[in-house]
Amino acid sequence: MALTRITLSDFRNHADLRLDPQPGFVVLTGENGAGKTNILEAVSLLTPGRGLRSVSPSEMARQGGSGAFGVAAQLGGDIELGTGTKAAAPDRRLVRINGAQAAATALSEWLSIIWVTPAMDRLFVDTAGERRRFLDRLVLALDPAHARHASRYEAAMRQRNRLLTAETEADPAWLSAVEAQMATHAEPLSQARAVLIEELGSRLALQPEGPFARAGIALEGWAWTDRFAEELRLSRARDAAAGRTLAGPHRIDLAVTHIAKAQAASRCSTGEQKALLMGIILAHADLVADKVSRRPILLLDEVAAHLDPVRREALFDRLAQGGGQVWMTGTEAAPFDALMGQMTHFTINAAGNDQPNDQARASAPIALRGLAS
């Protein structure tokens, strides 16, 4: 499925913006600060979570605007998705699907979105938390229930941490109930990650050598056992002293290696790390298409400018062969010349409006069914 319309209201620097892209390549060009990445961020909010910048909803509302924002999209011509906030509750994100209020986790039942941003160039040398969030986005594209299990596990863990660090001793029965809840969601959370690693790892291992290095992937740091609830009970004193839960699925890390070099990704060059990341993204898109018959929408921020010409051409070829909708940004149109005739091209200006050309439609006022009221 592809987005056929995206409309923004008071989102970042965009007061009112509407784009009507076609399936396939969607290219946004414009000067730095024009708001190209803001548009990708708006699209990323059509999945559970905080989007590609991972910030609170109140930070997304336009300065000088109403204090709220709205993002609406049309998917496949007849499905309407919307998300946004109200000025009275700027940090509470609302979601509507076909006009009806829904939980954010329900968005993953309709489409999958994966993104690559310049900040992710440091993914393999960044924190385990960043790699874990990346892993969970990959899992979510295959298992829509993953977001629900992750959020409920995190909520139960936070409650356990509060109980363990409270001034008064917590009721052991209450702690046991919370730990049982953690275990209930930890099992499917861990199993979904393991399945993704096995299936994606097998696909990566079979890829031919080429411009995108083959990545070996594995999980490190913690492994699920059916004794997890008991392990939590036995570690209460240790965790209380630490002020946090020290074992569980929130402690795993995604380990990535360069197969040909038998070298950890963190020890590879910046260019090799970028190639490893793109190889994972491309293989994952193919896996999702095969498993759920729905190719994920890809958001590639400034990706063309950070690849040499050989890898850029190889990327465009792979993306064209795979199909699906791919959003890309750049300051200039020249890196995308090879896609002429294959892309919907929008030029974004600093005022936050699109400049229509022969492949783009002009912006228009939008209505977001009260999301940003």
Residue where the block lists tokens 């861990």: 190
Segments of the chain with pLDDT less than 70: 350-373
HSE, CB side, 13 Å, CA atoms: give it for residue 373.
Answer: 6
Q: Any bridge partners for residue 144, and if so which?
A: none
- The CATH H-level superfamily of 125-270 is RecF/RecN/SMC, N-terminal domain (1.20.1050.90)
Dump the DSSP string for 232-273.
HHHTHHHHHHHTS--SSGGG-EEEEEETTTTEEGGGS-HHHH
pLDDT of residue 310: 84
Q: Which helix (H) or strand (E) segment is 180 a member of?
A: helix 172-205
pLDDT of residue 243: 96
What pLDDT, on the 0 to 100 scale, is given for residue 329? 97
- Give the pLDDT of residue 1: 78
What pLDDT score was predicted for residue 351? 58
Distance CA 141, CA 137 (A): 7
Report helix, strand or coil for 301. Answer: coil
Q: What is the pLDDT of residue 348?
A: 95
